[in-house]
Structure 1
Amino acid sequence: MATPHTTSRTRPTKVKKHARTQKRKRDDVDAEKLQDAVSQIDLNSTHTSFSDLPLSAPTVEGLKSAHFSTLTDIQAKAIPRALQGSDILGAAKTGSGKTLAFVVPVLENLYRAQCVGPDAGLGAMIISPTRELAIQIFEVLRKVGGKGHLFAAGLVIGGKGLQEERDALSRMNIVVCTPGRILQHLSQTSTFNVDNLRMLVLDEADRIMDMGFKKDVDAIVEYLPPDRQTLLFSATQTKRVSDLSRLALKEPEYISVHEAASAATPKTLQQNYVVTPLPEKLDTLWSFIQSSKKSKILIFFSSGKQVRFVYQSFRHMQPGIPLLHLLGRQKQTARLEITQKFSNAKHSCLFATDVVARGLDFPAVDWVIQVDCPEDADTYIHRVGRTARYEKEGRAVLFLDPSEEEGMLSRLEQKRVPIERINVRDKKQMSIKNQMQSMCFKDPSLKYLGQKAFTSYVRSLHVQKDKEVFKIENYPLEEFASSLGLPGAPRIKYLKADPTEVKELKNRSRMETALSESESEASEGEEGEVSTKKNGVRTKYDRMFERQNQDILADHYSKMVRNNDDDELDLNKLDGEQIGDDALFDVKRRIPADQALSSDDEDVEQLSGAIIEPDQLGPRSINIPGTSAPLILDSKRREKLLKSKKKVLKLKDRGNKLVFDDDGNAHQLYELENEDDFRARGAADEQRERFLLSERERVEEADLADKALAKEKRREKREKRKERERAEEDGGKADEDGETGEDLMANFAADAEAGEDGDLEQERPKTKRPKKWFEQDVVEPEEEEREIGTFDEMEAAAARLLG
């Protein structure tokens, strides 16, 4: 028998982990029993709790751990029908629990079908319009399905490497995604198979079916099998036949639990609107933030550039409440971090675009402020739905320009939205126009953000479909630019473009925009009009040499500087007759000029202060005040030079800096003496000796005066001390009651008088201590008391003490 192998290890070795085996179907699931229970559900009866429904044990455990017990209205009607396999169009108010209405059927239907493991393939696809909403849906799916279900669920929203998502997609049974990213995998990932897909869920379906995702959804549906179950949920559901036919729905059941309600918004939501002119919107917003520092506020703007400008401006002004901003152009990590911060904050203010208007559940939001009017009533309903969720209270305020009031109120009335008007208190209203102008003047980058914010806001007004609400000719754009701190309203060029085409251009990806631009440039090059490249082909080296520094001085910023050669364009006109290029917007800074001067010569004279000779033909000479020689104008380039105050200043003679002496006479800052006068007073060595001698005499005279002053102070101090001693001797002894006959007030006045000199020291009684055993009886000679007054006496005393 062989001896066992021994080692020096004192602890037992760990058992090697076995390789992960492939997930298999569960043997303990009675699918037939669950299926029979589901088929026997009475759809006409009312269900109040999840225990009334035939759900699997893992789902029941997950709902219990997540503290879900009572069914909401949309859940009570949608879940039983979805369990039986019907296609559903679900519409309910915001915050009514629509997410759980499709998460539970997805888990249960796949559980009964045993769609588990990589071999089963993808069983359910949940599509949301935004990344934040997709993350929220995935968290609910993980909480409910993480207590016993064996499904492999994943999140595909971008922000990560494409290869990493490709490897995970082949093993997923449930995927939560956004339209653009999942379409990219359907078209590019060969291992992604959707042939076994059983359920398709569209959350916020009306937004997904909108123009921005129309092409993506059509392409996604072509990849999916036709025999599937489709669920559509939203707060404002679409009923258009064209949308339903595109999704290939089979006899869908329309469930609208709040269709007969008196209001389309929750009853616990208090809704108000304020009629404030466009130039006063930022003043009203700042005043509101100052009065609500202990609240959680969500503020909506129509564009991301407005969000960035207002956030940066208010952050410099320090309102006293934490500020956050969220927009679609941010990176995914930053968006997740900001969303998490605002969710966990107790008091905070978030500036955002409509990217957070749908589906997101921020806990305990007190106020929803809409600074810019929403594009329609549905957008308004989704925005205000971020507060007053799950029967909690909330407040919403809408800022309306006087030109928007009538049209927007009629749209809200059609959607059964109750709203009341409130007024701003004049005492609480604060103006921040001066601060905005000061910040824009000091910070060019902030001024640039303000110009882009103005441009994006006017553009959002121009592309709106409802022209009865958004009448761009009625907006005071000049005053609005002034309220942003800008010196003038940027000039904007419009095109007679169809709003649908403009919105399609806005939603187009950057890659498609770049390809279209390159194709247009190539076609122009082939025609020989613009491009000078051979055969109209632009190589990567051409693009490399055409690149410019993308800072505030790049081309897109120089467009905001007005050229005098351009014609004036009225901001409030949409005729487009003065535009010759293909850009939708072309922003230039607008500088109001005096129209009294007509000729270029008079304009040059006004800006430079020069005297021009207009009768002269050819080169002209100009006498500019402050220059020694006249300036010759021999070209238009030299004439344009005079229109810049900075360049005219360089042409002028430099001045001399003067200083004034005690007599008030002006002298140059560095004034030298005449050399002849200096030599007339004698040699340099003799002048130096005379100077040193005169300074020595002056110092000695000052020393004698200081000694006399110190001697007089010592004499006065001695006299005051003697007077105090005499007063103490003549004061008498104490009486029986312990009182003395001296005048305490007089002593106090004398002490205060003596203390003004600062030289009087309080005398302490001297007690003679007994000598130690090692000390000798040495008789010290009595030293004559001396008063040290000058520096020489101090040196002599120090020398005596040192021996």
Structure 2
Amino acid sequence: MLGRTKGRPRPMKVKKPFKPQKRKRDDVDVEKLQLAVSQLDTTTKYASFSDLPLSSQTAAGLESSHFSTLTDIQSQAIPAALQGRDILGAAKTGSGKTLAFVIPVLENLHRAQCVGADAGLGAMIISPTRELAIQIFEVLRKVGGKGHVFAAGLVIGGKGLREEQDALSRMNIVVCTPGRILQHLSQTATFNVDNLRMLVLDEADRIMDMGFQKDVDAIVEYLPKDRQTLLFSATQTKRVSDLSRLALKDPEYISVHQTATIATPQSLQQNYVLTPLPDKLDTLWSFLQSSKKSKILVFLSSGKQVRFVYETFRQMQPGIPLLHLHGRQKQTARLEITQRFSQAKHSCLFATDVVARGLDFPAVDWVIQVDCPEDADTYIHRVGRTARYEKAGRAVLFLDPIEEEGMLTRLEQKKVPIESINVRTKKQQSIRSQLQQMCLKDPTVKYLGQKAFTSYVRSLHVQKDKDVFQLDKYPLEEFAASLGLPGAPRIKFLKADAEEVKRRKNAPRMGRELEEAEDDDGEGKEKVRTKYDRMFERKNQDILADHYTRMVQEEDREGHSDDDDLDDGLLGVKRRVTAVDLSDEDDDAPSGEEDEEEEEKEKDAREVHITGMQNPLLVNSKRKENLLKSKKKLLKLKDKGSKVVFDEDGNAHEVNLLDSEADFRARGSAEEQKRRFLEAEEERVRRADVTDKALVKEKRKAKKERRREREREEVEGDEEVEGDEEVEGGDENDLMANFIADAEALEESEPRKKVKWFEEERAPRGEEVGREIETLDDLEAEAARLLG
């Protein structure tokens, strides 16, 4: 028997805590809640959440999150949504639209007991951006995390598809972006949406825009038609096309601020500054220097501009923490930057419109719009990042004088009050020289500046409102200089319309080269080269390749028209081949002194015959003299050759081309041509057969002659050998010669070991190397030695 152990017993394995499976709650009075919801009066304006028939779990979540008073949009939208109606909700930014659809989602699924994996997916909330989806999920988690047992998930990409696929089958509520959820709908077999009860679209005007139209249409095809749909946005319209695509049933349009005098919050102070495009970065830098103790959000039109401004300002150290956010960053970086800016007290965030909608950054003091927004709705969403929940905020818009009239008209139509302010010239600072120095020292900064320029110009080009954005009136050369660039990068659409580009693209190559030809006979004044010209002429020695040099505009050349730049666009890959003007005759005859110059040229002219040219080349200028040194240019002067092919025997002949149908029918019918062809081939084969037989006969005859000749030589050789044997007492020299020949033959027949360079040739063991045979005595001595 085993004895009992003394002291402490051996510790047992710790058991995992028991986690009960999520299931329907039996203690929920669903009938009582359902009755209270059906008795709600949607015309009554409720002031507090306690006035609404909400479950104890939702009430606890609202209390823990310090939500007690209903906003205007919440007091009108929540009662109607609780009763299962479709809603089109529009309200100002920062008015609490997120709670207006989060609470109905929790309550409707709670009353329907849509809990657990067996219940399937009950609600889908779609957001246009990842950051906004994360914010919605956080609100859902805070409000519903005090008693609700729903399985909610965030599906926005940035993680492995496999992880999301495993979790989707167990979700009751999903917060997602359009592209990622469509991918799961089409690829994840276990993702079932047949039991979907509610579809929510936040920032619906953006989702229903052209950017997400195809994705939304594809998503709706997967969803059941018997569902409740909620659409919320700061700017909403009653477009029939949107309603028909989403299959809304008698939607209730709720616009709490439709009768308001302004479309933006009352506590928001809005101003604009007339700033020419080349001075915008100087004004922005000066503003940051005077607002270092503020929280600032700066909007730019493209991600490449965000990168350039962030990198250059960071190197100049403005004295305020800088951050940048755009859509090309990875998901982890975007989340980290969003959290850092939310938690920061004093900071400046350079961003694109990816953060313009719905995001709630606490305590933003300033919203600066360096680039003009595409429309008034985008302006409203941008300035909505400040002055949230009736707090104070300020917004400043930088407008070029070209954009002023059109943009102010659009803002006035949307009921947006805005006032003009001026910049104090004493505090205005110029950073152009600093940007030039950075471009000179760092090729990466120079490359970012070129990309920022091109992306901004392209954003102007694609704008729909041409009354505001008139591309041909912007000072682009000065704008490029303000970025530190010595010249504006070439962009294809700046100097030609679509028809001209198409015409030049379809023109023959030689014709295009002749159009681009330039006359270099005249001697022009040499252009002064600056240090910036030399900077852009040298090769990049950093991480970048040669493609960035093609973005810089080349020096203007004499004789070039505006159409010369069509093929050298930003993305053009065609190589420019400079054509040479070879015309020797002018349309206009010279007169006066020009006649004398032409006579002197004709005296000095000479004709040069070049192989491959039918006519000689007249050389009457220095340019033509230099032309003779270039093989590449001389190829253009030579006659066009004909293509040849080689047969099996190596003979060259021209390529057989197909005849036209008329020529084919002129030679007769197909059957007749076939018969003639077969007869001709039969005759050719017969003649070739006769020739081949004669050739074989000659070869056999020659072979027989060679065999007879060989036999005759063998007989004569045997007779000579017999005659030599009959000779007795021959000459001593003949005997020695025969012996030497036999010895040499013996040496050749026996292979000898190769002697290395550091070894001496040695005789076999027990033998000595014989001396060189010179006389008959030496021969006899060598023979005696060999015979032993």
Give the alignment's TM-score, normalised by structure 2.
0.66
Counterpart of 2:31?
Answer: 32
Where 2:211 maps in the other structure, the secondary structure is helix
CA distance in 1, matches of 2:175, 2:414: 31
User: What amino acid is aligned across from residue 347 of structure 2 in structure 1?
Assistant: S
CA distance in 2, matches of 1:387, 1:347: 14
Counterpart of 1:94?
Answer: 93
Where 2:309 maps in the other structure, the secondary structure is helix
Task: Say if 1:470 and 1:568 are closer, same or farther in 2 by CA, change over 3 A.
Answer: farther
Write the deviation string for residues 640-691 of structure 1: whole angstroms up to 9, x where unpaired. xxxxxxxxxxxxxxxxxxxxxxxxxxxxxxxxxxxxxxxxxxxxxxxxxxxx
Task: Say if 1:188 and 1:9 are closer, same or farther in 2 by CA, change over 3 A.
Answer: farther
Contact 2:488 2:553 survives alignment (8 Å): no
Give the alignment partner of residue 545 of structure 2, picking from 547, 550, 553: 553
Q: Structure 1 residue 579: deviation in Å? A: 3.9
Contact 1:296 1:347 survives alignment (8 Å): yes
User: What amino acid is aligned across from residue 192 of structure 2 in structure 1?
Assistant: N
Mapping for residues 521-536 of structure 1, pairs under 5 Å: none
Mapping for residues 443-592 of structure 1, pairs under 5 Å: 443-494=442-493, 552-553=544-545, 555=547, 558-560=550-552, 562=554, 579=566
Q: Structure 1 residue 238: deviation in Å? A: 2.7
Contact 1:268 1:392 survives alignment (8 Å): yes
Task: Say if 1:319 and 1:586 are closer, same or farther in 2 by CA, change over 3 A.
Answer: farther
Task: Say if 1:396 and 1:569 are closer, same or farther in 2 by CA, change over 3 A.
Answer: farther
User: What amino acid is aligned across from residue 260 of structure 1 in structure 2?
Assistant: T
Would you say 1:213 and 2:212 are equivalent positions? yes
Counterpart of 2:47?
Answer: 48
Counterpart of 1:634?
Answer: 629
Contact 2:490 2:570 survives alignment (8 Å): no
The sequence identity of aligned pairs, in percent, is 76
Contact 1:560 1:587 survives alignment (8 Å): no
Q: Structure 1 residue 17: deviation in Å? A: 3.0
Mapping for residues 107-146 of structure 1, pairs under 5 Å: 107-146=106-145
Counterpart of 2:351?
Answer: 352
Where 1:35 maps in the other structure, the secondary structure is helix
User: What amino acid is aligned across from residue 635 of structure 1 in structure 2?
Assistant: S
Task: Say if 1:8 and 1:300 are closer, same or farther in 2 by CA, change over 3 A.
Answer: same
Task: Say if 1:383 and 1:170 are closer, same or farther in 2 by CA, change over 3 A.
Answer: same
Counterpart of 1:417?
Answer: 416
Counterpart of 2:291?
Answer: 292
CA distance in 2, matches of 1:217, 1:174: 18
Where 2:273 maps in the other structure, the secondary structure is strand
Mapping for residues 291-370 of structure 1, pairs under 5 Å: 291-370=290-369
CA distance in 1, matches of 2:126, 2:361: 20
Give the alignment's TM-score, normalised by structure 1.
0.65
Select the structure of larger CA radius of gyration.
Answer: 2
Task: Say if 1:436 and 1:567 are closer, same or farther in 2 by CA, change over 3 A.
Answer: farther
Counterpart of 2:784?
Answer: none
Mapping for residues 567-716 of structure 1, pairs under 5 Å: 579=566, 634-635=629-630
Write the deviation string for residues 669-722 of structure 1: whole angstroms up to 9, x where unpaired. xxxxxxxxxxxxxxxxxxxxxxxxxxxxxxxxxxxxxxxxxxxxxxxxxxxxxx
Counterpart of 2:516?
Answer: none
Counterpart of 2:175?
Answer: 176
CA distance in 1, matches of 2:6, 2:459: 77
Q: Structure 1 residue 59: deviation in Å? A: 0.4
User: What amino acid is aligned across from residue 230 of structure 2 in structure 1?
Assistant: L
Counterpart of 1:627?
Answer: none
Would you say 1:84 and 2:83 are equivalent positions? yes
Contact 1:492 1:586 survives alignment (8 Å): no
User: What amino acid is aligned across from residue 110 of structure 1 in structure 2?
Assistant: L
Contact 1:89 1:233 survives alignment (8 Å): yes
Task: Say if 1:444 and 1:637 are closer, same or farther in 2 by CA, change over 3 A.
Answer: farther
User: What amino acid is aligned across from residue 351 of structure 1 in structure 2?
Assistant: F
User: What amino acid is aligned across from residue 427 of structure 2 in structure 1?
Assistant: K
Mapping for residues 244-255 of structure 1, pairs under 5 Å: 244-255=243-254
User: What amino acid is aligned across from residue 113 of structure 1 in structure 2?
Assistant: A
Q: Structure 1 residue 477: deviation in Å? A: 0.6
Q: Structure 1 residue 35: deviation in Å? A: 0.4
Counterpart of 2:191?
Answer: 192
Counterpart of 1:234?
Answer: 233
Counterpart of 2:434?
Answer: 435
CA distance in 2, matches of 1:460, 1:134: 26
Would you say 1:166 and 2:133 are equivalent positions? no
Q: Structure 1 residue 552: deviation in Å? A: 2.1
CA distance in 2, matches of 1:261, 1:367: 24
Q: Structure 1 residue 558: deviation in Å? A: 3.7
Q: Structure 1 residue 551: deviation in Å? A: 5.0
Write the deviation string for residues 101-126 of structure 1: whole angstroms up to 9, x where unpaired. 00000000000000000000000000
Would you say 1:402 and 2:397 are equivalent positions? no
Task: Say if 1:568 and 1:470 are closer, same or farther in 2 by CA, change over 3 A.
Answer: farther
CA distance in 1, matches of 2:61, 2:146: 5
User: What amino acid is aligned across from residue 206 of structure 1 in structure 2?
Assistant: D
Write the deviation string for residues 332-386 of structure 1: whole angstroms up to 9, x where unpaired. 0010111111111111111000000000000010000000000000000000000
CA distance in 2, matches of 1:433, 1:632: 44
User: What amino acid is aligned across from residue 486 of structure 1 in structure 2?
Assistant: L
Write the deviation string for residues 43-65 of structure 1: whole angstroms up to 9, x where unpaired. 12121010000000110100011
CA distance in 2, matches of 1:567, 1:213: 48
CA distance in 2, matches of 1:61, 1:26: 17
CA distance in 2, matches of 1:100, 1:269: 22
Q: Structure 1 residue 634: deviation in Å? A: 1.7
Counterpart of 2:701?
Answer: none
Q: Structure 1 residue 170: deviation in Å? A: 0.6
CA distance in 1, matches of 2:3, 2:557: 99
CA distance in 1, matches of 2:49, 2:542: 57
Q: Gapped runs of 5+ residues in structure 1?
A: 499-548, 571-575, 589-597, 601-613, 624-629, 640-803
Would you say 1:154 and 2:149 are equivalent positions? no
User: What amino acid is aligned across from residue 276 of structure 2 in structure 1?
Assistant: P
Contact 1:134 1:176 survives alignment (8 Å): yes
Q: Structure 1 residue 561: deviation in Å? A: 6.2
Task: Say if 1:287 and 1:253 are closer, same or farther in 2 by CA, change over 3 A.
Answer: same
CA distance in 1, matches of 2:129, 2:322: 22
Counterpart of 2:693?
Answer: none
Contact 2:487 2:552 survives alignment (8 Å): no
Write the deviation string for residues 742-766 of structure 1: whole angstroms up to 9, x where unpaired. xxxxxxxxxxxxxxxxxxxxxxxxx
Q: Structure 1 residue 134: deviation in Å? A: 0.3
User: What amino acid is aligned across from residue 358 of structure 2 in structure 1?
Assistant: G
Contact 2:551 2:570 survives alignment (8 Å): no
User: What amino acid is aligned across from residue 361 of structure 1 in structure 2?
Assistant: D
Task: Say if 1:84 and 1:484 are closer, same or farther in 2 by CA, change over 3 A.
Answer: same
Counterpart of 1:536?
Answer: none
Aligned residues: CA RMSD: 3.6
User: What amino acid is aligned across from residue 278 of structure 2 in structure 1?
Assistant: P
Write the deviation string for residues 750-800 of structure 1: whole angstroms up to 9, x where unpaired. xxxxxxxxxxxxxxxxxxxxxxxxxxxxxxxxxxxxxxxxxxxxxxxxxxx
Contact 1:154 1:176 survives alignment (8 Å): yes
Counting matched residue pairs gives 561
Where 2:389 maps in the other structure, the secondary structure is coil
Where 2:78 maps in the other structure, the secondary structure is helix
Q: Gapped runs of 5+ residues in structure 2?
A: 500-540, 575-580, 584-603, 611-618, 635-788
Contact 2:492 2:567 survives alignment (8 Å): no
Q: Structure 1 residue 202: deviation in Å? A: 0.2
Task: Say if 1:637 and 1:318 are closer, same or farther in 2 by CA, change over 3 A.
Answer: farther
User: What amino acid is aligned across from residue 274 of structure 2 in structure 1?
Assistant: V
Where 2:166 maps in the other structure, the secondary structure is helix
CA distance in 2, matches of 1:192, 1:7: 57
Q: Structure 1 residue 225: deviation in Å? A: 0.3
